[in-house]
Amino acid sequence: MTRTKVALSSAIALYFVVCFEILIMISPFAGFFYSAFNPFLLGLTKYRATRWLSSVFFTHMVVPPNGFLKFVRVTGSVFFSLGLLLFLICAFQVYASKVFRRGPVIKGLYSLIRHPQYVALATAGAGLAILWPRFLVVVLWLAMVLVYYLLARDEESRMQKQHPEAYRDYMQRTGMFLPRSIENAVPLSSAVSRVAAFLLLAIFVIGGAFLLRQYTVDHLPLWMDSKVVALAVLAEDKQMMEHRMRDVLNLEQVKSRLEPNQSYLVYFLPTNYVMQGLIADTGDDWQLYKKHHAISRFWDWIFHPFTHLGGTHASAFEAGDHPHRSASAGSVRRLIFVKVSAASGTKPADLFSVNATRTRISWLTWMFTHSVFSRQKTCR
């Protein structure tokens, strides 16, 4: 059983390594992580049956454009923070009991349920899935929940052997993962009922993620003209995007690069947008892992969910002015063009379909003052 416990614990560790991609990508270890993780992600995209696992189901590079999506994003931060806090409280209770040899922990949170530490970690994991919303994270979360159940059963078996009477009475007073009164209302005494409950949970979680993805895509601030769809990373830029995109597409240096009968997705974003390095190579300023601000950026990701993407929170960026960031220079926006292939359908949202192939081709920085272009810069 020891080997089994080590294997299950390793599975949990793997889950958090993958889920903390959000933290690793802004750390000095990003290069090492992606040297192993990128081939795995690329392998998933090769097959239609697994391509969806590498896709995202919620806004992670775009500020949520409406109240409901903002609520979901804040919920992710709350669940993650609350789950970690509860886990630390549980860990303190367990280790204090071991140090002072007080026997089984049955007070505090443990007086309500027998495994609050696993509930806390599952809650933190659910929040993390919203903060970094890959479908792969959702599937791994389900696997982690199953692992927690197996670990809890193993722990209870050992505790019944070590403290037979005391722990038996404790089990009769408390629920495993929910208060006893709630668990009694949903009888899961047989193996078949427990398997059915897990399958229902999987359907609810994965199905909910797909529904949230569809809702998110349907409410993105988009602009469309023929085969070009533009996405405003900041919702307040939508009016500017609608007013200026046609002029941008009429620029000779842009028209000459757009292939006929080819669909394009254009990210319309501020030049100081913190996530642009994930869309295209726009210079060392936007390679997050090179700035060594992993902790401050991760803190912003959790506690400043709507301001850090646009760069309005100071700790998200280097001090000082960026050469293309000066407010006195006028309204500056960067456009990143992405070629989209195998998109199903003709609606703007179809360019975000799971099976579509997106290839970065170029980026363009442009500026206008008083509705007149005063500078353009194009890079491939």
* Tens digit of each residue's pLDDT (9 = 90 or more) over 57-106: 988 888 898 999 999 999 999 999 999 999 999 888 888 877 777 666 77
DSSP string, 24-54: HTTSTTHHHHHHHHHHHHHHHHTSTTTGGGG
**Phi, psi for 86 (deg, rounded to 5):** -65, -40
Token reading at 188: 């899961």
104-147, pLDDT tens digit by residue? 677 888 888 999 999 999 999 999 889 889 898 899 899 889 98
CA distance 364 to 280: 11
Q: Residue 292 pLDDT more than 60?
A: no
Predicted TM-score of the model (pTM): 0.81
The residues, ordered by sequence, that sit 6+ positions from 24 with a Cβ below 8 Å of its Cβ are 17, 30, 33
184-216, pLDDT tens digit by residue? 887 777 788 889 989 999 999 999 999 999 999
CA distance 89 to 94: 9
More confident of the two residues 36 and 273:
273
- Which pLDDT does position 284 carry in this prediction? 62
- Which pLDDT does position 313 carry in this prediction? 44
Residue percentage of the chain with pLDDT more than 70: 72
DSSP code for 1:
-
18-64, pLDDT tens digit by residue? 666 666 665 556 666 666 677 777 777 778 788 888 888 988 888 89
The residues, ordered by sequence, that sit 6+ positions from 247 with a Cβ below 8 Å of its Cβ are 373
